[in-house]
Amino acid sequence: MKKHIAIILLTGAALSLFMGYGEKINNPFLHEYKTPFGVPPFDEIKPEHYLPALEEGIKRHNQEIDAIVNNTDEPTFANTIEAFEYSGELLNRVSLIFFNLKEADATPEMDAIAPKVVPLITNHSGDIWLNEKFFNRVKVVYEKRESLGLASDQMRLLDNMYKSFIRGGANLDADKKERLRQINERLSVLELEFEANVRAETNAYQLVVEKGQDLAGLPETLKAAAAEVAKEKGMEGKWVFTLDKPSIMPFLQYADNRVLREDIMKGYLMRCDRNNVNDNKANIIEQVSLRTEKAQLLGYPSYAAYVIDEKMAKTPERVNAFLEELWMPALNLAKQEAADMQALIEKEGNSFMLESWDWSYYAEKIRQQRYDLNEEELQAYFKLENVLEGAFTVANKLYGISFTKLDNMPIYHPEVIVFEAKDSEGKHLGIFYFDFFPRSTKAVGAWMWEYRTQHYSQSGENIRPIIVNVCNFTRPTEGKPALLTIDEVTTLFHEFGHGLHGLMSQNRYQSLAGTAVPTDFVELPSQVMENWATHPDVLKLYVKHYETGETIPDALIEKMQKSERFNQGFATVENLAACILDMAYHNRTTTDRIADVNQFENDIMKSIGLIPQIPPRYRSTYFKHPFTGGYTAGYYSYLWSQVLDADAFSAFTETGDVFNREVALAFLKNILERGGSEEPMNLYVKFRGAEPSPDAMMKRNGMKK
């Protein structure tokens, strides 16, 4: 996942332009960083530094904007568009750090300042896009754009800025502008509260097991991890399971005790739906209504129409048609999978009907029966350090880049590790942070972020990026290293793919660089990397047994290949159900409030025929992608990008060489390096020679022969 900030972060110039004011204040943000590669001085930054630095950043940015607006010279691309692009440096650098640490290390101190910080930045952003004098200057440049002799990236920058003003309400009358300000500020607070509630509910649940016989079926590594959690919580001699993925997912997969599987599954599904202080239902109702009102203020029938207008898909109708095309093939496959599991339940002499808490358990049984593939056995080959080295090896073979671990670097948590990336000629490419393990202060899931985005300074220096991957993987236990599940392996490659997108960027302007692309294109570089994670030619390069050092045997690789399409009906259906739910909320054309969130969700799922054994990947009350910003009316992006990534990887497999350097170079030059400097589909066609078809994805997922 590529994290997006719900408000509009502002671009800035090189990180070296600090002046007298900051030197009088003991605030690391207000001084030039005296750190290796100019990385953030995490060891010096304290929560109390953010608000003063942001206030100073806004003050400076307002002065820069005033200088642009009050310039008596005729508006030009240089004195208006580029001048804004290079403004807001301090605000940008502080925001990029704050918004990642707010989720990666949300201490009570960070939580306390977030309600002050987020509205402050939201209001500042609104002040910019609603500035009529500023918009008039931009409009002058925009209207004569064809005669200015602009390069393609400059034209893209101008077009984006003009549309940002239009979409930000610049053409509204005074009353509507004020209402838009109110909506934006309220939404920023609601999104913040939604995220905090999900984190609180996730941390609040624990399944405490007191009897050893209740652990039947569980792998020793999972039992050891649960014992360590119990010890940390003062319950030595017991076992504690949580809603963190490395705990709940293998528990559901292996636990023989059906009652406990039901308990933990319901704990997961009922997050923020308990009518308590962390309940998100009222939050959702208000968000959906306000978003519809905002879209209609700006001339769109629905919020989905407003959002998707800027995406590759362009319209909600195209998105819905895409989801509908996939739905029945996926649902039919899932129904067959459910029937197979029900048959196994009855074969074992049981009379109960398959439920959601049974699916992973019986899927694992069928996997073992059909393919003789045991996930626990497989996990022993995927030591975290080896998997990371495998991702580095793939990047080296494709693009010639290398990674060197750096010690004694400023880090925001003791578990964070840091690498320097260099290109094929040994030149510095960027800095890459990795933060792998769950903790109570970290949001669930996995994401990529940039502490500094690649761009060229006004003096022509290529400022290289600072990237971070944040994950929630299985922790090491006493006597055993971190051993990843296949899902975690693909997640590591996925987030690393996002990281490469930011790392390999070669763009003039920061707002067009790296991952600054539509959400239904941003998942291409990440999802295509997943194809290398378990490809036989790649497995041999990095997969070794953590105890013996034995390279993964051919027989085990063959089993993995045979089981590739297993359970894909379930995986695609739960994904599609979440996409459809997101679209249903945001394609509404009325501002009337939803009466009941659970009823709304149930009605939508019933209308598409979702079988009860499969809940949506995210139920409404903890569905962070649309309700904390970034992927609102955009969760479809993952499936949309599956079409892109399956087609893109075919460009390699068609040559018979998954490391084909000619194809890799084309992907590098047309996708990774280009960022958002051109329309995404144009970039894809330049790489592949044609627009993608869903066929490759549907075949890969077992929905088409």
Structure tokens at 14: 């090189």
Distance CA 503, CA 395 (A): 11
Count the alpha carbons within 13 Å of 134 in the hemisphere toward its beta carbon. Answer: 24
Under 8 Å between Cβ of 206 and 240: yes
Structure tokens at 223: 């039992």
Nearest-CA neighbor of 265 among 249, 288, 284?
249
Distance CA 636, CA 584 (A): 12
Distance CA 88, CA 10 (A): 6
Nearest-CA neighbor of 675 among 7, 61, 11?
11
Nearest-CA neighbor of 514 among 464, 457, 470?
464
Distance CA 580, CA 556 (A): 37
Distance CA 644, CA 646 (A): 6
Under 8 Å between Cβ of 506 and 672: no
Structure tokens at 94: 């502080």
Distance CA 688, CA 665 (A): 12
Nearest-CA neighbor of 447 among 504, 497, 382, 385?
497
* C-alpha of 235 from chain center: 35
Catalytic site includes residue 564:
no
Instruction: Indicate the length of the chain as a whole number.
Output: 705
In 205-315, alpha helices (H): 220-232, 245-254, 258-269, 281-297, 303-308
Q: Which of 85, 450, 495, 574 is an active site residue?
A: 495
Structure tokens at 39: 């990385």
Under 8 Å between Cβ of 126 and 168: yes
- CA 313 to each of CA 160, 631, 636: distance values in angstroms, whole numbers, following the listed order: 17, 14, 10
Distance CA 507, CA 462 (A): 9
- Which helix or strand (DSSP H or E) is residue 679 part of? none
Question: CB under 8 Å to 191, separation ≥6 — which residues?
Answer: 6, 118, 287, 627, 628, 629
Q: In what order do the strands lie in the sheet with 447-452?
A: 402-406, 417-422, 428-435, 466-470, 447-452
Under 8 Å between Cβ of 605 and 581: yes
- The vertex-655 CA angle with 654 and 658, nearest 5°, equals 90
- The vertex-490 CA angle with 485 and 496, nearest 5°, equals 125
Distance CA 40, CA 30 (A): 12
DSSP output for 10-40: -----TT---GGGGGS--GGGS---SGGG--
Distance CA 98, CA 54 (A): 10
Question: CB under 8 Å to 300, separation ≥6 — which residues?
Answer: 306, 309
Distance CA 146, CA 394 (A): 43
Distance CA 488, CA 574 (A): 18
- Which helix or strand (DSSP H or E) is residue 521 part of? helix 519-533
Nearest-CA neighbor of 30 among 64, 8, 60?
60
Enumerate the active-site residues: 495
